[in-house]
A and B are shown apart, each in its own frame.
Chain A
């Protein structure tokens, strides 16, 4: 998009986020929720939609959605109903989906997001409960239902509890959309209700996008991009749609209200179906279920049990003096963050500890392909390591070696430093003797320094460090050498 277009036009974006809850059992039957089981093995008459089978709501899933709603500051309504959403599709076994319509469980919340350029509040219209569908695998030709030779169906996912989070059309750019998606993901993860993995489909987005002349009150005609399964795609698809719609409008055309599909490989969206062909879902109250009632005690218990949310944690870390990046990394990785919290609570320096965790520790865990909780590292280690550095027992370089040893399970930092012979020499006499002996060996360099040329200092420091096996404090050595050079003029 040209800069002029950016100035003239404003994007209006609303996002529907689907999150699969990781409850022990499915939404309306006792089948386990599991990924990667052989096809059609975690199924029963209920989730296969067999004649006569009836749904029974899973209370743990209701608890999960209420936690999500509470995290967005939503009103958790006291009376809610399930509806049937009717449409025919082979992987929808009853040919209707149990969902919610005009009486969802959670309404009127919001979420704070930050991008490099802005920070804003995005309204959450509603959060409702539904059941997931099965999966179709279309075999042959283009791999889509229309041109496949035949299709295979797997109903393991059928009936998995699915939460839909609907935002207000408050998002104004592709970057904001991405920030929104990633904040939703962080919040859901922090609640422990879902791993929200986009690549596995346990979280996915539908985006509604329109553009209007800046200053206009009315919304433009919107398009919907469905089933976006990565944050990068969310940003890419929205950026493409904004540009496409602006071009259409500036070319004198009009945007067609339709559903579009984002093609990851080509980086473009293409029309799937227009509104005229769109379905009438014929919602009506699900007669197999009774209305859900959330009483005050339940509501209060949910709110009281919420963990510290990502935005609050991020602010707390910033207040401790951490930069945006470190704060973000500690918020995103719950185990890393809690290790940080424990170490700081035990007296470790926040900035130095955050640097170690997001630097060496993260590098180590990535290299080894493990989570930080699977390493030997504890908060006590971080506290002791920090103390050794501030007290001059370890050089910055040696501290990294010691941390590597601790991560590898070699024990407490002091023991590792001793074992690896990395403790700094604190006896000034020993350092002076080493300096004396190096200066004696390099009389020419000493002479140059006495003539005012201080270039050899670095070389001499290096020689002393070598002589002491790297255990002298290089700053102290440098000062000693400089003072000797001046004292002999």
Chain B
């Protein structure tokens, strides 16, 4: 019999309804998986055992009473620790929020609870979601379940590792420059960044407000769409939330790709991409071609500047977003003789080096006399990127590329050089600048047995065609490998 922790969301939901599995048994299975893997992975910062048990029992009661709250009822979900959970410590991976318990739930968390989901805990991340390896967490790194000497990607590394190993069935992450797609790629699971505004940011501890977007992780494309359907939709508490009717998300999952125009982004298939990754992506494109898709090559010249623009815009916004962490009202406080000294010391002690670096960079970029050359110029590049996307979508229905330039790299390999770390995001960043949706689907393992992700991008509110192509890629490549850590002998308590 399959360990319930290895069920997909869809399988688990079906078993819960058939009565062959209870929510409590499912929770026990993922809790056991966490107990067996956390020492090696460190995917979670907080496990909410009591809250999860209560939610699982409530789900069992509801199921017994014939209630149906939808596909997430009784499903163990992990939530990245930059989303507020009422009364449960929420740190954003930072020392400055150590011990902070929000007085309210983020909108996505409320929606999960309303759907009967079982929130198992809060996952590790790069501090304030700034990083591509989860090594910037103030609470220590998360390890990759395929090879624990390697990084899981980031910043949503904890959520990705947890779903990959089975200490949750699905998870939420946030993606500002690739923080869902890149760890999904490095952990061999599916992760999607929805259209900006499709999922409410209310209760998401902001990194860069104009780029941040919450999105789902799961072990297959359909489950990823399912989780997105539950959390997406207009929220009156988020002024940037999309006001129209929620677009169709899962309506094309079985439609195939015949006649779909697939654009291969030339700039993202160059020398910066590791050869095995390039090869796997090319193979996938060939499979799509064989399946009836129309493959076109697309050039996106502005992509050469996207990374630089991103590393001005995101730090600029973060310099203001993180100003509120000053020791005055909550979080870490280091006393000083004056209020100013207290604020300065609290911030110096509370923020890690990468966060401090970006605050400084952003403050500088916005300063009088430099604004136009840095922030202003970056905004102009952003406009160019949007134009390139708009032109590309005249010729193609979706765009495809590698998700990350390489597979998972060893822990510590890139920490000495921030720029080298920033290059991890070259394939994922342009889409955040445009506000469009994108997803990563695992397509192969490299020679080291590490997963390779394939990125599918779509125009704003084009989730339906994105999942349609993603689902076809999944079917065509038939990737069914699981990390060693998940398949090793596990003992139920």
Q: Do A and B interact?
A: yes
- Taking Cβ atoms with an 8 Å cutoff, the residues of A that contact B are 45, 48-57, 84, 86, 88, 90, 93-96, 145-146, 151, 153, 280, 282-284, 287-290
Give A90 to B338 CA distance when docked, in angstroms: 11
Query: Provided the pairs A54-B202, A54-B237 are in contact, do residues A280 and B367 lie with their beta carbons within 8 angstroms?
Result: yes
Contact B367 A282 (CB under 8 A): yes
> Chain B residues near A90 (CB, 8 Å)?
326, 328, 339, 343
Q: Chain A's nearest CB lies how many Å from the CB of B109? A: 10
From A52, A284, A290, B84 is in contact (CB under 8 Å) with A52
From A50, A86, A94, A153, B103 is in contact (CB under 8 Å) with A50
From A52, A57, A88, B206 is in contact (CB under 8 Å) with A52
Query: Provided the pairs A51-B97, A56-B237 are in contact, do residues A45 and B103 lie with their beta carbons within 8 angstroms?
Result: yes
Contact A93 B202 (CB under 8 A): no
> Chain B residues near A51 (CB, 8 Å)?
84, 90, 92, 97, 100, 102, 205-206, 324-325
Give A93 to B329 CA distance when docked, in angstroms: 8
Q: Residue on A with the closest CB to B210? A: A287
> Chain A residues near B326 (CB, 8 Å)?
88, 90, 95
Give A55 to B240 CA distance when docked, in angstroms: 10
Give A93 to B343 CA distance when docked, in angstroms: 12
Whether, in the assembled complex, B238 has its beta carbon less than 8 Å from a beta carbon of chain A, the answer is yes
From A55, A151, A280, A290, B339 is in contact (CB under 8 Å) with A151
Give A55 to B241 CA distance when docked, in angstroms: 12
Query: Provided the pairs A50-B102, A84-B320 are in contact, do residues A145 and B240 lie with their beta carbons within 8 angstroms?
Result: no
A/B interface sample: 5 pairs, CB < 8 A: A54-B237, A55-B239, A90-B326, A280-B367, A282-B363
Contact B97 A52 (CB under 8 A): no
Query: Provided the pairs A45-B104, A90-B328 are in contact, do residues A52 and B205 lie with their beta carbons within 8 angstroms?
Result: yes
Contact A280 B240 (CB under 8 A): no
> Chain A residues near B203 (CB, 8 Å)?
52-53
Residue among A54, A56, A145 with the highest chain B CB neighbour number at 10 A: A54
Whether, in the assembled complex, B98 has its beta carbon less than 8 Å from a beta carbon of chain A, the answer is no
Give A54 to B236 CA distance when docked, in angstroms: 10
Total interface residues in chain B, CB < 8 Å: 45
Contact A48 B375 (CB under 8 A): no
Give A302 to B90 CA distance when docked, in angstroms: 45
C-beta contact mask, B459-479 vs A, less than 8 Å → 1, else 0?
Answer: 000000000000000000000
Q: Chain A's nearest CB lies how many Å from the CB of B85? A: 10
Contact A88 B201 (CB under 8 A): no
Chain B 219-250 residues near chain A, CB threshold 8 A? 236-240
Give A335 to B380 CA distance when docked, in angstroms: 55
Contact A284 B239 (CB under 8 A): no
Give A27 to B210 CA distance when docked, in angstroms: 21
Whether, in the assembled complex, B436 has its beta carbon less than 8 Å from a beta carbon of chain A, the answer is no
Query: Provided the pairs A86-B323, A145-B339 are in contact, do residues A56 and B102 lie with their beta carbons within 8 angstroms?
Result: no
From B97, B338, B366, A86 is in contact (CB under 8 Å) with B366
Q: Residue on B with the closest CB to A84? A: B320
> Chain A residues near B204 (CB, 8 Å)?
52
Whether, in the assembled complex, B316 has its beta carbon less than 8 Å from a beta carbon of chain A, the answer is yes
Give A287 to B210 CA distance when docked, in angstroms: 5
From B206, B239, B329, B338, A290 is in contact (CB under 8 Å) with B239
Contact A280 B368 (CB under 8 A): yes
Whether, in the assembled complex, B340 has its beta carbon less than 8 Å from a beta carbon of chain A, the answer is yes
User: How would you classify the secondary structure of chain A's contact residues: helix, strand, loop or mixed?
Assistant: loop
- Taking Cβ atoms with an 8 Å cutoff, the residues of B that contact A are 83-84, 90, 92, 97, 100, 102-104, 106, 201-206, 208-210, 236-240, 316-317, 319-320, 323-326, 328-330, 338-340, 343, 363, 366-368, 371, 375
Query: Provided the pairs A51-B102, A52-B203 are in contact, do residues A95 and B323 lie with their beta carbons within 8 angstroms?
Result: yes
Contact B201 A86 (CB under 8 A): no
Given A50-B103, A51-B325, 12 more contacts at CB 8 Å?
A51-B84, A51-B90, A52-B102, A52-B205, A86-B319, A86-B320, A93-B324, A94-B323, A282-B366, A287-B317, A288-B206, A288-B239
Give A404 to B67 CA distance when docked, in angstroms: 73
> Chain B residues near A52 (CB, 8 Å)?
83-84, 102, 106, 202-206
Give A93 to B202 CA distance when docked, in angstroms: 17
Q: Residue on A with the closest CB to B92? A: A51
Q: Residue on B with the closest CB to A28? A: B239
Contact B205 A288 (CB under 8 A): no
Q: Chain B's nearest CB lies how many Å from the CB of A46? A: 8
Query: Provided the pairs A54-B239, A145-B339, A153-B328 are in contact, do residues A88 and B323 lie with their beta carbons within 8 angstroms?
Result: yes
Q: Chain A's nearest CB lies how many Å from the CB of B190? A: 26
Give A316 to B205 CA distance when docked, in angstroms: 57
Q: Chain B's nearest CB lies how many Å from the CB of A76? A: 21
> Chain B residues near A94 (CB, 8 Å)?
320, 323-324
Q: Residue on B with the closest CB to A145? A: B339
Contact B324 A49 (CB under 8 A): yes
Give A96 to B238 CA distance when docked, in angstroms: 18
> Chain A residues near B104 (CB, 8 Å)?
45, 50
Give A287 to B435 CA distance when docked, in angstroms: 13
Query: Provided the pairs A51-B205, A94-B324 are in contact, do residues A284 and B90 lie with their beta carbons within 8 angstroms?
Result: no
Contact A56 B236 (CB under 8 A): yes
Q: Chain B's nearest CB lies how many Å from the CB of A221? A: 19
> Chain B residues near A86 (CB, 8 Å)?
319-320, 323, 366
> Chain A residues near B100 (CB, 8 Å)?
51
Q: Residue on A with the closest CB to B236? A: A56
Contact A50 B367 (CB under 8 A): no
> Chain A residues near B328 (CB, 8 Å)?
90, 153
Contact B330 A289 (CB under 8 A): no
> Chain B residues near A283 (CB, 8 Å)?
366
> Chain B residues near A284 (CB, 8 Å)?
316-317, 320, 366, 371, 375
Q: Chain B's nearest CB lies how many Å from the CB of A410? A: 55
Q: Chain B's nearest CB lies how many Å from the CB of A88? A: 6
> Chain A residues near B366 (CB, 8 Å)?
86, 282-284
Give A76 to B339 CA distance when docked, in angstroms: 41
Q: Which 10 A-B pairs have the closest CB atoms?
A: A95-B323, A287-B210, A287-B209, A282-B366, A52-B203, A51-B205, A52-B84, A280-B368, A49-B324, A94-B324
Give A55 to B343 CA distance when docked, in angstroms: 24
